[in-house]
């Protein structure tokens, strides 16, 4: 583990979006709000994302792509980059986790882990 990995902190809040969901057709829509904070001493640019999405039946979907919401933000020391996105599951409960592929100003690439977070319809969690 390079010293870079500990410099990027990722916080996530998720919520169920009932007006876009339709349980009758196994469509459960969730929004998630992400804050990526650079706690290091050098700027870092987010290049890629890798998500592992697991639904309530333990079906796993992996998503890889460039940037987030069409951007590859550079995050200065002490700054936080925030964005919101969404996921659609076939079950009322699931989870997401993953990592962001980052690069520092010296060209060194490193991964910033995204801790696991739950996606759950309210009152469905026991």
Q: Is the pTM of this model over 0.95?
A: no
| CB atoms closer than 10 angstroms to residue 116 | 12
Structural domain includes residue 125: no
Q: What is the CATH number of the domain that holds 61?
A: 2.60.40.1470
Helices (H), ranges, the chain: none
Strand partners, 9: 37
The domain of 59 spans: 5-118
Residues of the chain falling short of pLDDT 70: 1-6, 124-126
Q: How many domains does the chain have?
A: 1
Q: From the CA atom positions of the chain, what is the Rg in Å?
A: 16
pLDDT reported for residue 1? 40
- Determine the Cα–Cα distance for residues 76 and 26; give it in Å rounded to an integer: 41
């Amino acid at each position: 583990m390079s010293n870079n990995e500990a410099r990027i902190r990722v916080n996530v809040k998720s919520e169920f979006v009932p007006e876009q969901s339709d349980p009758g057709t196994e469509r459960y829509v969730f929004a998630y709000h992400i804050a990526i904070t650079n706690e290091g001493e050098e700027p870092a640019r987010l290049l890629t994302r890798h998500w592992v999405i697991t639904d309530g039946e333990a079906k796993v979907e992996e998503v890889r792509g460039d940037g987030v919401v069409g951007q590859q933000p550079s995050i200065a020391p002490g700054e936080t980059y925030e964005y919101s996105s969404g996921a659609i599951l076939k079950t009322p409960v699931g989870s997401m986790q993953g990592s962001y592929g980052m690069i520092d100003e010296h060209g060194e690439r490193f991964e910033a882990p995204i801790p696991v977070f739950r996606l759950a319809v309210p009152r469905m969690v026991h």
